[in-house]
A and B are shown apart, each in its own frame.
Chain A
Amino acid sequence: MANKKKTPGINASSMADIAFLLLIFWLTTTTMNSDKGLQRRLPPMPEEGAQQEDVKINRRNIIQVKINSNDRIIAGGEIMDVSMVKDKIKEFITNPANLETLPEKEMKQIEGFGEYPVSKGVVSLQNDRGTSYNAYLQVQNELAKAFNEVRDDFARQNFGTVYNNLDEDKQKIVREAIPLSISEAEPKDVGRSARR
């Protein structure tokens, strides 16, 4: 019976410290590399041998955004800073004053919503092989921002809240009303084509 008294319980109070050490080790060594970015869909490759058909697009319906090898931007014929691209694109998509020079709109029946004048505008993005990836992505970001803001405006007007708060069906309506029409031109090597 005297024996029993001699084996005291193991002091487990330092267990917490050990566990904390492990935890902190894990926290510092692993990286929560959450994947974030701009999601895009590439256009399918044209079938080989298929006649490359030039889709006739009215000049007013297209805005060209070009980035040259020095990361200088020209949008709709004007040299501009990245920060100005967004407003230019927004004006282009919405065409608030129904100007002759900006894209025309086509009445389209949207399921669950009704008729809405959908802009026929297409943003054409062109870059050079020498453009830095950062500049390219900044422009992509500005384009996305322009579209997102227009979508938010539309959502707020019609559903009273921003696009992200809408349910799936309503988001689809917004997407149909303001399609993300960014077209990336077939790559061109400006330097090389000049020599050809």
Chain B
Amino acid sequence: MAKFSRSGKKDMPELSTSSLPDIVFMILFFFMVTTQLRETEPLVSVRVPEASEIAKLERKDLASYINIGSPVRSKQAEFGTDARLQLNDSFKNVDDIRDFVAAERENLSEADRSFMTVVIRADRDVRMGIVTDVKQELRRCSALKIMYSATAPVQHEF
């Protein structure tokens, strides 16, 4: 009995939390390295459509983005609400795609150029007219690998 009571009295050694900050910092750094900050300010609002058969883009570094949608609210006074094209960080026309694709190609290494993927991030309410124009222009620039950006459908529970 005495034996037990003595051992019960003995304080539990406190759990050392001194390494907790290190662990958390490690997670923090992991996130800082893996996430990329959006380098361009969105000028058009894009709500991509939902699709179930989507596949992940394997090489993110080979992707260049074409955003299509109506201008964000703060730009609507200037540019209206009609669907516009955004390349990098300015509104552009379909004719500018040629230069854009050429510049993006230039950024890639020789070996990767043929794998360049153009990601079309178009709003779900956009009409196909502008998308078709973009596609035709891409064909003309022979940037043939494209991806229609989409999100996984939200699972509705019944």
**A contact residues vs B (CB 8 Å cutoff):** 12-13, 15-16, 18-20, 22-23, 26-27, 30-45, 127-134, 136-138, 140-141, 144-145, 148, 187
Contacts and interface: CB of A to CB of B under 8 A. Distances in A.
B124 A132 contact: yes
A35 B124 contact: no
Nearest to B123: A133
Interface string B110-137: 0000000101001111111101100110
B142 A45 contact: yes
Interface stretch (B72-80, B93-101, B143-151): B143-151
A50 to B, nearest CB: 14
Contacts of A31: 35, 38
Interface stretch (B4-12, B48-56, B84-92): B48-56
Interface string B20-41: 1100110110011001111000
A188 B135 CA distance: 13
B3 interface: no
A36 B57 contact: yes
B135 A42 contact: yes
Contact of A42 (B55, B123, B146): B146
A141 B149 contact: no
A136 B51 contact: no
A41 B125 contact: no
Contacts of A144: 51, 53
Contacts of B123: 133
B108 interface: no
B27 A23 contact: yes
A39 to B, nearest CB: 5
Contact of B138 (A42, A128, A137): A42
A37 B150 contact: yes
Given A23-B31, A37-B54, A134-B125, A42 B148 contact: no
B24 A19 contact: yes
B155 to A, nearest CB: 16
B73 to A, nearest CB: 19
B86 to A, nearest CB: 15
Contact of A37 (B57, B68, B144): B57
12 contacts: A13-B17, A19-B20, A23-B31, A30-B31, A35-B63, A38-B54, A38-B148, A42-B139, A44-B139, A129-B132, A133-B68, A133-B122
Contacts of A39: 55, 57, 117, 145-147
Nearest 7 pairs of A and B residues by beta carbon: A129-B129, A134-B124, A19-B24, A15-B21, A144-B53, A35-B57, A141-B51
A138 B122 contact: no
Contact of B131 (A12, A19, A33, A136): A136
A34 B52 contact: no
